[in-house]
Every structure is written in structure tokens, then in C-alpha cells.
Amino acid sequence: MALIVQKFGGTSVGSIERIEQVAEKVKKFRDNGDDIVVVVSAMSGETNRLIDLAKQISEQPVPRELDMMVSTGEQVTIALLAMALIKRGVPAVSYTGNQVRILTDSSFTKARILQIDDRKLRTDLKAGRVVVVAGFQGVDEHGNITTLGRGGSDTTGVALAAALKADECQIYTDVDGVYTTDPRVVPKARRLDKITFEEMLEMASLGSKVLQIRSVEFAGKYNVPLRVLHSFQEGPGTLITIDEEESMEQPIISGIAFNRDEAKLTIRGVPDNPGVAFKILGPISEANIEVDMIVQNIAHDNTTDFTFTVHRNDYLNAMRVLENTAREIGAREVIGDTDIAKVSIVGVGMRSHAGVASRMFGALAKEGINIQMISTSEIKVSVVIEEKYLELAVRALHTAFELDAPARQGE
């Protein structure tokens, strides 16, 4: 008999029929003798719909009230799923994050889980009930409702699994595992049987939205056995593991991640003195804007050009701050570009192979794609390119690093 935490995403609970199907699935596990805690997201599209409502009142809604509202999406699905289970003769009870007491800090819209009170859950499990918990939400020490950021139900699932020392955390979604890249962009993408926490963390933070970054961090930190599976198709899914097998089979690259969420800012003709980077980025960080990639070029006339990327949501703010800085330090001009995308290759196998970056640049050059910025680490190489070439770039790299699935018969 195992204790399993199962998380079902938005499309998996996107209609009454789907919720009934999820109930059937949970019932099967329970009939097998397992203890089950289920975490659900809001019905697909619901969180976006709620955010749109708030934006009709104000372009930048008060974060506390926004959380108060968007947390309702999950409150609907937990109750519907509990009803569907009870209808099938499975004792079940639903709880919001607040009712469990998933304690978070007070950073509305991106709160971090601090502590989970597992007493209620354990009592219910002992009494033979399936516990259905609302994903994506918690409560701060003052009793305010908080949310964990987009995709946050994954983190609720993993955090509950850690608190309950569950045998496995199963993330059920609309794909049958973690792929070499988003299968919706590259039809030849391949499902991975296994991926290391380190690689998954890198993939998630570089844009693969199949798992929220924090859920992977949490699983790695507390060693939660984590698996991504399809909600309604049988299959082994993808196991996220610690071990990094150094076999001959180890591919150099495990996956390709990408995102269109960044924007690029450049300040040109900056007098080149010590402290320049600090003068430019200090005010940006004071404005609470996170910077991702940075490039500095020295010109011949003792000036420098400085380029960095931020989240697109922060673009206008960052532009305002940078224009101020430009005036203060006597820079020539400030330019911005929102039509960019970041493509990254990820793999622990890179550590033992030279020439990975140049192979990447070669593949992009062959397609005539210009690279605007580069950043590397031990297990990834990222480039910024023009957004319109994103899909072409991902497909070219997928082929260049021999990740394409073998063609099926008849193809």
C-alpha cells in the first residue's frame, strides 16, 4: 500500500466529463489499496479568464485582491472532483490551501510555501478518505490568501508529497511525459524515460512550462520521487531522478527549451569607467526588475554598449529606468526590442563534450539565423534570436543534436 499524491492540470479537469474521468482514475488507485491525495488546478482557461476580469478594473490590479480572486478557480474544481468521487462511493473531502493550512510568505502572486500542516490530511487518510486539495494557493501568517505563481499547482503537489513523505508525486497532464522539447512545436520530439533534477530545473527555468520551476526545486531538495504522466493514456511517463548515469548512451543534449517572455534593452555610447555595470543595473534591480542575460561591448572611442534582457512584463518599466540612467551618465541612446526569443540546449552530457556551443552556432548559421546574445553554463547554452525564427531554430537544433524520433512507418 502506497501513499501517492496525484496532481491533475487544467485541461485534465477542463470539463465535467474530464472531472468524471479523473474520479474514475483516482477510484482505481484507491480500489488498489493506495492512500491518495489529489491536487487539482482550475479548469483550463479559468485562471486567464479571472485575470482578464481584474484587468478590466485596473491594468495593474492590487496583488492581494488578485490572489483573492484567482484562487477561486481551484475552489470550484476541488469541490466538483470530491462530488464525483463521492458519487462513485469513494469517501472524499476537499480543502482549500487555507483550510489545510499551506502557510506561505506574503509575496502575493508569487508566494513561497513555508510550512504545511499535515494533521488534517493524515486524519482523513486514516479514516479512508481521498483528500482533494486546491493547487496554486496558500495563506500567509495574517490570514491573507496567496497564490504561488502561474503553474503553481505543480508545486502544491510536490510540497504536499514532501510533507506527507509520499511514495510518489504524479503530475498528470495533457502530454505523456517530459519531451526533448515542446512536442507542440516539434512533432518529432521524443519522450524521455528519465531526466535528472538538474536538467529538469534548467529546462523549466529556461522556459519549458511542463513543470513549474519551484516544483522541481522542491522535489530536488526534499528528494520527492516525481513523475510526469498523461492523465488519460496509460504509459510510464517520465521519471525525474537524481542519478546521472555516466553510460555510453548518455546523450550530449537532453533537451531544448525556449521562451518568448523576454525583451532586450541596449544603452549605447556609455563612457567606459569602472562601475558602469553597477550604474546601469543598480537602478534596474532597485526597481525590483530581474535581469537575465547581460552583454557588454567595448568600442574604440572609450565608450561601451551594454545590453541586457528582462521579462517582457517589466519591459516598459525597465525602459523608463534606463532612460533616466542614460541622461544621468551621459550615454548616447537607449534602444529596446521585444521581438526576441531565447533558445537553450540543456544536458548534463555537455560536461564531458567539447564543441557543443559551436555545433549549436553552426546549426543556426546554416539556417541563416543571427545570434544576438549568448550565455553558457556547465550544462546549458542559451542564445537570443529574432522571435520570428524561434520555431525554425528549435527544429534545426533538435535535428542537429540527433534528438529527432525515428520516423514511423508510412511517414
Least separation in angstroms between residue 338's CB and ligand ASP is 23
Least separation in angstroms between residue 253's CB and Mg ion is 24
Residues that bind Mg ion (CB under 5 A): 9, 151
Q: Which amino acid is at 7?
A: K
Least separation in angstroms between residue 152's CB and Mg ion is 8
Query: Which residues does residue 133 pair with via DSSP β-bridges, in sequence order?
Result: 39, 95
**Residue 369 touches ligand ASP, criterion: CB under 6 A:** no
Q: Which of 146, 181, 196, 304 binds ligand ADP (CB under 6 A)?
A: 181
Site for ligand ASP in 109-168 (CB under 6 A): 135-136, 150-154
Pick 189 or 267: Cβ nearer Mg ion: 189
**Residue 202 touches ligand ADP, criterion: CB under 6 A:** no
Cα 47 from Cα 257, distance rounded (Å) = 24
Q: What does R_g of the chain's alpha carbons equal in angstroms?
A: 23
Q: How far is CA 71 from the centre of its chain?
A: 19
Q: Which of 174, 217, 272, 387 binds ligand ADP (CB under 6 A)?
A: 174
**Residue 14 touches ligand ASP, criterion: CB under 6 A:** no
Q: Read out DSSP for 12-60?
A: GGSSHHHHHHHHHHHHHHHHTT-EEEEEE-PPTTHHHHHHHHHHHH-SS
Instruction: Report phi then psi at 2, rounded to 5.
Output: -115, 160
Q: Which of 85, 163, 210, 213 binds ligand ADP (CB under 6 A)?
A: 210
**Residue 11 touches ligand ADP, criterion: CB under 6 A:** yes
160 DSSP 8-state letter = H
Q: Residue holding cell 526597481?
A: 287
**Residue 41 touches ligand ASP, criterion: CB under 6 A:** yes
Q: From residue 364, give the alpha-carbon distance in Å to each of 145, 251, 295, 360.
A: 46, 20, 20, 6
**Residue 42 touches ligand ASP, criterion: CB under 6 A:** yes
Pick 14 or 220: Cβ nearer ligand ASP: 14
Cα 370 from Cα 357, distance rounded (Å) = 15
By beta carbon distance, the residue nearest ligand ADP is: 9
- Report helix, strand or coil for 244: coil
Which residue ranges make up the site for ligand ASP (CB under 6 A)? 9-10, 41-42, 47, 73, 135-136, 150-154
Binding site for ligand ADP (CB under 6 A): 9-12, 41, 151, 173-175, 178-179, 181-184, 208-210, 255
